[in-house]
Amino acid sequence: MGEKTLMKGAEVIAEAAMRAGCMAFFGYPITPQNEVPEYFSRQMPKLGRVFLQAGSEVAAINMVYGAACTGTRVITTSSSPGISLMQEGFSYIANSDVPCVVVNAMRGGPGLGDIAPAQADYFQAVKGGGHGDYHSIVIAPYTLQEEADLMFDAFDLADKYRIMVVVLVDGLMGQMMEPVEFKEWVDVKKFKTPDWATVGQRDRDHRNIITSLEILAEGLEKMNFHLQEKYKIIEKNEVRFEEYKMDDAEYAITAFGTIARIAKTVVNMARDEGIKLGLIRPITLWPFPTKLIEKRAEQLKFFFDSELNAGQMLEDVKLAVNGRKPVYFYGKLGGIVPSAEDIYAEFKKHIKGDR
């Protein structure tokens, strides 16, 4: 602790995960996050932990599912097309109540798209993606330091709620370098195999069955109620966000991840010109800071949402604002990252009409 290391974002993910007690990695190569498995492949064997390159993302997520069933801290990392392949597994994991962490370094889509930074998988991560009524906790860091810290929280939340936690970053965050201070290594010797894990019954007085199947509709409804109850508790306890210069704000940018970084500069540009602009940055995309936005709607003249997509988080902002104030949008597609000047200019177009 106390020492700062200059590191690439992708490697920060791997290093932080290992320090947080991640015992196993399963994954399949895909740009722009190959440095993550590469780093794991160098370090995990030294720690006596598992690194395995799977035959596909389909195989990878099901290995994660298997490891999760044993109560092991496990991770996979991928990028958009690979994450698409994993959706079936996510859905099974959700209805099995097992914990795991998944990192998506989003790239431009749809289809093979490109390898440039994007945020176009917001819907997929936040609104399900796989089949059935389920949620994963979705965390979106915006600096490498936050990324390093949140990897610990990701594993803790996954274990606490027996849920999948998605760390949603973009290609830019994977590739940039920043000085990072890591938290201390978690003592993995203290980990105990949980009572629900399927590792063979041994001394346990009951056997464990982990399944997402329940053929009777009444039974499946019960399983769904259980999930919904869990989601309610998470929505109550785990919403995280950052506000920047919001106290006296008349306008707010809403943005997450890379765009939120740029948006801070935009806020300062506006403040230099005497415009009372602030930033609301959801850190958890699910659960979403709905209440906060609802509250801020009272003081604001309008919201200005900016993302690297055609307007995805925008829908959640609009739902929270619920028509009380205008919500404008500026997005870039296909992997283009706008400059602070671009965003500021777009924002000012609306302010003219407003004044």
Q: What residues line the site for other proteins (CB under 8 A)?
A: 23-24, 26, 50, 52, 54-56, 58-60, 62-70, 72, 74, 88-89, 92, 96, 198-202, 207-213, 215
- Identify the bridge partners of residue 177 per DSSP, sorted by sequence position: 8
Minimum CB–partner distance for residue 188 and other proteins (Å) = 12
What 3 state SS string does 144-204 have? HHHHHHHHHHHHHHHHHHCCEEEEEEEHHHHHCEEEEECCCCCCHHHCCCCCCCCCCCCCC
Contact 347, 270 (CB under 8 A): yes
> In angstroms, rounded to a whole number, what is the distance separating the alpha carbons of residues 78 and 185?
24
Output 74 or 266, the one with its CB closest to other proteins: 74
The CB density around residue 1, as the number of other CB atoms within 10 Å, is 6
Minimum CB–partner distance for residue 11 and other proteins (Å) = 23
Query: Cα dist. 83→59, 200, 269, 344 in Å?
Result: 12, 31, 36, 33
**Residues 6 or more apart in contact with residue 38 via CB below 8 angstroms:** none
Minimum CB–partner distance for residue 159 and other proteins (Å) = 15
Minimum CB–partner distance for residue 223 and other proteins (Å) = 13
Minimum CB–partner distance for residue 200 and other proteins (Å) = 4
Minimum CB–partner distance for residue 336 and other proteins (Å) = 35
**Residues 6 or more apart in contact with residue 132 via CB below 8 angstroms:** 91, 94, 95
Minimum CB–partner distance for residue 209 and other proteins (Å) = 5
Angle in degrees, 0-180, between the axes of helices 313-321 and 290-299, rounded to the nearest 10: 60
> In angstroms, rounded to a whole number, what is the distance separating the alpha carbons of residues 80 and 38?
18
Contact 71, 194 (CB under 8 A): yes
Minimum CB–partner distance for residue 123 and other proteins (Å) = 22
> In angstroms, rounded to a whole number, what is the distance separating the alpha carbons of residues 184 and 19?
7
Q: Examine residue 117 and say whether the peptide bond preceding it is cis (omega within 30 degrees of 0).
A: no
Sheet containing 302-307, strands listed edge to edge, beginning at the edge strand earlier in sequence:
241-244, 277-282, 251-254, 302-307, 327-331
Minimum CB–partner distance for residue 107 and other proteins (Å) = 24
Contact 141, 13 (CB under 8 A): no
DSSP 273: T
Output 111 or 200, the one with its CB closest to other proteins: 200
Query: Cα dist. 147→80, 139, 202, 333 in Å?
Result: 19, 9, 39, 24
